[in-house]
A = this chain, B = another copy of it.
Amino acid sequence: MMRSLRALGEDRLLAQILPQLKQNSRVVAGAGDDCAVVKFREAKEWLLLKTDCVVEAIHFVAGSSARAVGWKAMMRALSDFAAMSGVPQFALISLVIAGKRRVRWVVDLYRGLNQAARYLDVAIVGGETSDTDGPTAVVVSVSGFVEANRCILRSGGKANDDLFVTGRLGGAIRQRHLNFVARIEEARWLTANFKVHAMMDLSDGLGADLPRLARASKLSFSIDERALPLSKSCTIQEAISDGEDYELLFAISRRDRARLERTWRKKFPKLPLTRIGQFNQQSVINNQQLMSGYVHFRQRR
Residues of chain A at the chain B interface (Cβ within 8 Å)? 1-8, 10-11, 13-14, 17-18, 21-24, 26-27, 30-31, 35-36, 38, 40-45, 47, 49-55, 57-59, 89-90, 92-94, 96-104, 106-107, 110, 114, 117-118, 123-135, 137, 139, 141, 143, 145
Q: Report yes or no: B143 in contact with A137, Cβ–Cβ below 8 A.
A: no
A-B interface, 7 closest residue pairs, ranked by CB to CB distance from nearest: A134-B134, A6-B99, A36-B125, A141-B141, A43-B43, A51-B92, A10-B129
Main secondary structure of the interface of A (DSSP, over half): mixed
- Complex Cα spacing A22 to B89, Å: 12
Instruction: Please give, as numbers and ranges, the residues of chain B lying within 8 Å of A27 by CB-CB distance.
Output: 90, 123, 125
- Complex Cα spacing A128 to B51, Å: 8
- Complex Cα spacing A114 to B17, Å: 10
Instruction: Please give, as numbers and ranges, the residues of chain B lying within 8 Å of A4 by CB-CB distance.
Output: 99-103
Q: Report yes or no: B128 in contact with A36, Cβ–Cβ below 8 A.
A: no
- Complex Cα spacing A151 to B102, Å: 37
A33 to chain B, nearest CB (A): 8
Given contacts A5-B103, A40-B145, contact A125 B49 (CB under 8 A): yes
Instruction: Please give, as numbers and ranges, the residues of chain B lying within 8 Å of A59 by CB-CB distance.
Output: 130
Q: Report yes or no: B55 in contact with A130, Cβ–Cβ below 8 A.
A: yes
Q: Report yes or no: B130 in contact with A13, Cβ–Cβ below 8 A.
A: no
Q: What residue in chain B is nearest A92 (Cβ atoms)? A: B51
Q: Report yes or no: A137 in contact with B130, Cβ–Cβ below 8 A.
A: yes
Partner of A89, one of B8, B14, B21, B26: B26
